[in-house]
Chain A
């Protein structure tokens, strides 16, 4: 299990947070994803064999928000 922090911008309210959270949590290999609206970030616990910070960002971007890995 690996942990990463993603930058997620473009979220404006609780609905966006929910959407990003659901998007991430539904990905194969993601154990848990939490989104912080105020800091515009998401913390994701995932299986490094199935996902990478880049792939996670990509999924968020596809959901309609801007995203990139922080560390």
Chain B
């Protein structure tokens, strides 16, 4: 199975996306086809053995649209070419690569311009192919950036729509004056007065209408093509309505010219022109706001710097960011941005990672620290080794994730698509039937005809197709801005239905890094002495409790002593010889087995344990010396976050492998409703399932280290703290920071987005539902007004515009926690 994304050109509404989806999904070998109207992309999963990408593209073309692979164009400088046959071999070597569309090499300029599919091929692959052929290729610094190209294309589209609108308007306004003016007593020149000179009246209107029809050509080509393919879309409705009006008027004009002047009342040019102009205006607004909805991604993409300073052949050179290779040493001065991901090899500095993690406090970096590309170097010059470049960097991964999410479909969107798929044919049928009904009911043909046109125009479900994808694009983009990465539209939709949130304890509610909280000694030992002994014993320890003790000693600047014997006794503790003294460090059982009486300290230990701490007994030369207690502390914001979730009416549970007492102590501190303690890591998913079996919708929040299966089992898995790759994989939502406040933010965002989608659906349907009966003439039956086709055209445009404006309102979303 392979997955590919194709750009689809020519789609204008939800039924177009339906058509493309249906046309591709029914092909044998295609497993899944998903079209996003807002991004104009088709995401397709298919079996390469059964069907080729070209066959899929052909199917899309047959359905009346155009499919193009997301091609990238890059320019390389190729060195080592000496003759025309070199050009040939470089061209051959590159164009035979899978995913290359076209490769042209110019001998004189030593440039190769290559158009390729970046999802199949990387620039490194291209360079390798060239070097295998015996030449050297370097990417040009001013290579055309795919992002910029995309932006350029969108801007061009907006400009084009604007031009189409104003050219249409320039002809429509005088047309409107000519055709309607005389009804309001506006004098017309004699040459075109309907009474004096009906031929002139008809011809001037025809002349004014033709340019508008030309400007509206895309509506007709797509509209009729899809109608013939029996997948009519909103363009079909517009095309049918306006061309019917135009053709009718044209026939009337011919009669006028032939001498039957009474047909001057039957001219309908202005309706066709006004409808086309208004719908074009609607499309212009649509293009304008579609560009705005994807701003979040552009913002992310703009984060990475264009160039990097690397150390090559003993000197510093500035190269384009695409040329940075893994293993290269990069030099970054204060104020500059980190070009790629890597590890510091020299220097110290603090780095602002807020654009990626949302964390506002700069992070200290020293040798060995990891660097995220696009973060800002604040105050020191550092050198670091690139570990991840190009599409592997954290930033690229995030962009990919957000893009995928924006392109994915929420279940609610699928429903809207299905509805609109039926909508158009039903409307066409309805228009014909209603027209016929009026005609046979005794009305004139013209009257019946007007009604049919009004129905066709008002019924366009185009706003319906925009309702969900635009809200999801803005919603997921807004999430990314706040450090909440929502991986799919489905996840965004499901989150608002959650009624129970399960938190993993360690690393989620707590810091996940235990610290020494209490030191209790018997007479003859000071706190420091005891800590030195314990830390020396734990020196090599990989146990988190041991690490906490060593860290405590290091923080106090205490020296560690030499150990000459070390034995770890599973389930009990350590037996160590430190500085020639026999030391026992562990639980009560260890003391008991070695005949050490803890005396009064046993009560102290019990008290500490009831506070959620882990007490460790320490005996020196088989005499009790004291207790060191270690505990995992609760994160600062945990309490507030859980309180917030309670306010939202959610039940909050905590899951942990700890014993009941420790779990209860932590749960008490943060206000947990339900405690699931002593759960083995492998049973966490089961516990989540049990909650689901109670009929709950469960979200699971964890760091993904040992709860990946539970994250996957939950209705919504939330991975916290930029996390591990596993967590990113199995989670539906990834929180960049390890701040629990982002959990309520995610829920709020989901609720806000779903609310927005519902409003959008209302706006999309309201005009149609209200408009159709009026257009059918139901009000007229009871003495009310009819719906003029021009008004229908205006209402339709407003429908799209109100949906888009409403979706853009989501951009104002602010998490209530800040």
| A binding-site residues for B, Cβ under 8 Å | 3, 5, 34, 36, 38-39, 41-43, 70-71
Contacts and interface: CB of A to CB of B under 8 A. Distances in A.
Given A36-B565, A36-B567, A39-B564, 20 more contacts: A3-B582, A5-B564, A5-B565, A5-B577, A34-B567, A36-B566, A38-B540, A38-B566, A39-B563, A39-B566, A41-B564, A41-B565, A41-B577, A42-B565, A43-B565, A43-B567, A43-B575, A43-B577, A70-B564, A71-B580
Contacts of A5: 564-565, 577
Contacts of B567: 34, 36, 43
Contacts of A71: 580
Contacts of A39: 563-566
A71 B577 CA distance: 12
A34 B582 contact: no
Interface string B500-536: 0000000000000000000000000000000000000
Q: Is the interface of A mostly helix, strand, loop or mixed?
A: strand
A7 to B, nearest CB: 8
Interface in B548-604: 563-567, 575, 577, 580, 582
Nearest to A38: B566
Q: Which 8 A-B pairs have the closest CB atoms?
A: A41-B565, A36-B565, A36-B566, A34-B567, A43-B565, A41-B564, A39-B565, A39-B564
Interface in B292-338: none
A57 B170 CA distance: 108
A33 B369 CA distance: 43
Given A39-B563, A43-B565, A34 B577 contact: no
A25 B653 CA distance: 51
Nearest to B569: A34
Most buried by A among B563, B565, B567: B565
B416 to A, nearest CB: 65
Contacts of B582: 3
A12 to B, nearest CB: 17
Nearest to A71: B580
A43 B581 CA distance: 12
Nearest to B540: A38
Contacts of A3: 582
Contacts of A38: 540, 566
A70 B577 CA distance: 11
Contacts of B575: 34, 43
A71 B582 CA distance: 12
A38 B360 CA distance: 44
Contacts of B563: 39
A39 B565 CA distance: 6
B380 to A, nearest CB: 38
B238 to A, nearest CB: 80
A34 B565 CA distance: 9
A56 B577 CA distance: 19
A5 to B, nearest CB: 6
9 contacts: A3-B582, A5-B565, A34-B565, A34-B575, A36-B566, A39-B564, A41-B564, A43-B567, A43-B575
A71 B575 CA distance: 17
A42 B565 CA distance: 7
Contacts of A70: 564
B15 to A, nearest CB: 70
A50 to B, nearest CB: 21
A39 B567 CA distance: 10
Most buried by A among B540, B564, B582: B564
A71 B563 CA distance: 14
A47 to B, nearest CB: 17
A37 B73 CA distance: 61
Interface string B388-412: 0000000000000000000000000
A60 B565 CA distance: 17
A41 B577 CA distance: 10
B631 to A, nearest CB: 29
